C-alpha cells in the first residue's frame, strides 16, 4: 500500500513530480485562514504533509492522525507547528532553509530603496497625473551612502543583506536577537540599545519565538534615532504594529517597508493609509528559482522520511 502525501497548497510542480511516482499525492488549493478543523480534515489521510507557514499545525491537528510521520514546512520558519507536540508524538518536522536567502535579501534591499527614495509614492503620483512634473523639492528622500544599517539577526539572510548594504556605501552594525553576549561574535556587533539609538535604518531578520514576539515595541521605537526607517522581511509579530503606527504618526520614524504583518493575512488599516509605508504581500522568497528550490527540498524531506531516512533539513 502506498503512503499518502498531502500538499496543503498549489506548490511548484517539482514537488508533485518528485513524489507522485512513489506515493499517492493529494493536492489542495492554496487557501488563507485555515482553522484547526480545516487542517484536521485535510490531513486525515496523510502519512506526510507539505504545509504552508500560515497552516496551523497544532497539537490537536497532530494528534488527530496517528499515521502522520512528517510535516515538511514550505518555509524557513516553523512557528506554525507545535514542535513540542510533534516531538512527543514522534512526528518529524522539517523546513527549507538556505535556498531563499538571496531572494529575501534582494527584496530587503528593494524595500529599503523603495521607502528611502519614495518610489511607491512617485509611481502613484505619476500614474494619477499621467505626466512627469520635475520640481527641486518634490519627493525628497534619503541617500544610503554613509548611513548606518542596523541588522537584528545576523544569520544567512541578515549577512546577505549586510553584503548588499556595504556595496551601497552603508555602515552595517548588528545584534543577534538583542543578546549582547552573542553580539560580539559578529563583526560590527553592538548592544541592542546602541543599535536602536544609532541606526538610520533598522532591518529585522530574526526568527519568531516567545522571546522575540514584539521585540520591537513602543519602548524600542522610543529608543530609535528620530527619523529612522524600519524594514521587516522576517516575521510580522516581531513588531508591535500599533506601536509602529504611533511611531510613524509622531514622526519618530520617517518610514517603514514591510513584507510581513503581525496578523497575516490581515493588515493593520492604519498602515494601509500611510503614504510613508511600503507594503508588499509576503514575497520575500518569490522568485522562480527560490520557490522551485523550496519545493524540491520540502518534497525531498518527505521522500527521505517515508523511505526511513533522515530529512535534508530536520527541525526535530
Q: What is the pLDDT of residues 232-246, one digit of tens each?
A: 999 999 999 999 999
What top-level class would CATH report for the domain 4-99+288-306? alpha beta
The ranges of the chain with pLDDT < 50 are 177-178, 180-185
Q: What is the pLDDT of residues 123-161, one digit of tens each?
A: 999 999 999 999 999 999 999 999 999 999 999 999 999
Report how far residue 230's alpha carbon sits from residue 101's, in angstroms, rounded to the nearest whole number: 20
Active-site residue, selected from the candidate residues 235, 254, 291, 296? 235
Q: In the chain, where do the E strands start and end?
A: 4-7, 24-27, 48-51, 70-73, 92-94, 148-152, 171-175, 201-204, 228-232, 253-258, 277-279
Query: Kindly report the CA angle at 19 between 294 and 75, in degrees rounded to 5?
Result: 20
Report how far residue 84's alpha carbon sits from residue 301's, in angstroms, rounded to the nearest whole number: 19
Report residue 268 as a C-alpha cell. Answer: 493593520
**pLDDT, position 32:** 87
Query: How far, in Å, are 55, 84, 85, 264, 267 from residue 316 at the CA level?
Result: 18, 9, 11, 26, 32
Backbone angles phi, psi at 70, to 5 degrees: -150, 140
Ranges for all domains in the chain classified under CATH 3.40.50.720: 4-99+288-306, 101-279
Our answer to whether residue 235 is catalytic in this structure is yes
Tell me the angle at which helices 101-116 and 119-129 cross, rounded to the nearest 10 degrees: 60
Cα 194 from chain centroid?
Answer: 25
Non-local (6+) Cβ contacts of 139 within 8 A are: 118, 121, 122, 125
Our answer to whether residue 307 is catalytic in this structure is no
Q: 75, 313 in Cβ contact below 8 A? A: no
Our answer to whether residue 282 is catalytic in this structure is yes
**pLDDT, position 176:** 54
Does residue 265 have a cis peptide bond before it, meaning omega lies within 30 degrees of 0?
yes
**pLDDT, position 178:** 46
Fold classified for 101-279? Rossmann fold (3.40.50)
Active-site residue, selected from the candidate residues 60, 164, 270, 282? 282
Active-site residue, selected from the candidate residues 102, 125, 171, 264? 264
Report residue 60 as a C-alpha cell. Answer: 490537536
Non-local (6+) Cβ contacts of 166 within 8 A are: 172
Amino acid at each position: 500500500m502506498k503512503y499518502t502525501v498531502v500538499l496543503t497548497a498549489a506548490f511548484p510542480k517539482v514537488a508533485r513530480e518528485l513524489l507522485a511516482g512513489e506515493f499517492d499525492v493529494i493536492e489542495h488549493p492554496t487557501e488563507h485562514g485555515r482553522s484547526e478543523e480545516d487542517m484536521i480534515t485535510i490531513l486525515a489521510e496523510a502519512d506526510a504533509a507539505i504545509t504552508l507557514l500560515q497552516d496551523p499545525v497544532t497539537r490537536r491537528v497532530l494528534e488527530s492522525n496517528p499515521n502522520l510521520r512528517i510535516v515538511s514546512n514550505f518555509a524557513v520558519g516553523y512557528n506554525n507547528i507545535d514542535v513540542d507536540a510533534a516531538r512527543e508524538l514522534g512526528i518529524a518536522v522539517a523546513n527549507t532553509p538556505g535556498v531563499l536567502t538571496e531572494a529575501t535579501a534582494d527584496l530587503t534591499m528593494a524595500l529599503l530603496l523603495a521607502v528611502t527614495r519614495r518610489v511607491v509614492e512617485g509611481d502613484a503620483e505619476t500614474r494619477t497625473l499621467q505626466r512627469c512634473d520635475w520640481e527641486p523639492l518634490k519627493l525628497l528622500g534619503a541617500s544610503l551612502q554613509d548611513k548606518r544599517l542596523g541588522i537584528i539577526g545576523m544569520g544567512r539572510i541578515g549577512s546577505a543583506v549586510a553584503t548588499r548594504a556595504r556595496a551601497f556605501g552603508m555602515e552595517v552594525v548588528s545584534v543577534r536577537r538583542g543578546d549582547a553576549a552573542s553580539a560580539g561574535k559578529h563583526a560590527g556587533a553592538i548592544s541592542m540599545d546602541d543599535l536602536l539609538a544609532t541606526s538610520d535604518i533598522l532591518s529585522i531578520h530574526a526568527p519568531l519565538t516567545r522571546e522575540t514576539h514584539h521585540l520591537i515595541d513602543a519602548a524600542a521605537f522610543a529608543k530609535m534615532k528620530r527619523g529612522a526607517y524600519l524594514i521587516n522581511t522576517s516575521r510580522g509579530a516581531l513588531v508591535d504594529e500599533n506601536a509602529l503606527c504611533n511611531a510613524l504618526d509622531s514622526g519618530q520614524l520617517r518610514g517603514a517597508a514591510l513584507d510581513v504583518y503581525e496578523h497575516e493575512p490581515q493588515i493593520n488599516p492604519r498602515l494601509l493609509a500611510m503614504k510613508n509605508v511600503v507594503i508588499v504581500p509576503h514575497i520575500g522568497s518569490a522568485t522562480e528559482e527560490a520557490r522551485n528550490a523550496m519545493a524540491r527540498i520540502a518534497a525531498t524531506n518527505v521522500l527521505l522520511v517515508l523511505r526511513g531516512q533522515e530529512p535534508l533539513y530536520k527541525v526535530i
